[in-house]
Amino acid sequence: MKKFPILSLIIVFITTASFTLFQTKPWNVPADKAKVTNPVKADATSNAAGKVLWGQHCASCHGKAGLGDGSKAAQLETTPPDFSKAAVQGQSDGALFFKTSEGRGDMPSFKKKIPDQEDIWNLVNYMRSFKK
């Protein structure tokens, strides 16, 4: 019976440590994917299309303005990033396309939900509008 509190403490420690490691694990994009150039011109038409897709697929977690404060954000194991910050805006279009397409953890893959690659590029263009 004396071992139960120690065992419980060990389980809590391991769970907390695992959660912390998962939260801070960098999302590395393969170099060839990060170098891909956006073939869609970032114009008003592309941004309008991206805004519609953002509202349909992204805003619930990432927030309407891309601040990571969507209605579902608190339910996730990982905190959605603030798209207005340099950490996101400094990523290449190819990296943003890859992450949106492939997903990871709480972030779902959108390559089947948004099968037209041009639409994902429109989303990438719209993500750039969150830049401060």
- 51 pLDDT higher than 90: yes
- 118 pLDDT higher than 90: yes
Task: Kindly list the structural domains of the chain, giving each domain's residue range(s) and its CATH number in brackets, ordered by start.
Answer: 27-130 (1.10.760.10)
Place of tokens 């948004």: 114
**The amino acid at 94:** G
- 7 pLDDT higher than 50: yes
Q: Express each pLDDT in 19-46 by its tens digit.
A: 444 455 899 999 999 999 999 999 999 9
**What b/e readout covers 99-123, taking b as 16+ CB neighbours within 10 angstroms?**
bbbbeeeebeebeeebeeeebbbbb
User: What is the dihedral sign for C-alpha 106, 76, 125, 95?
Assistant: negative
Cα 100–chain centre separation: 7
Q: Express each pLDDT in 62-110 by its tens digit.
A: 999 999 999 999 999 999 999 999 999 999 999 999 999 999 999 999 9
Both tokens of 39, joined, read: 């073939």
pLDDT value, residue 16: 47
**Residues comprising the chain, all counted:** 132
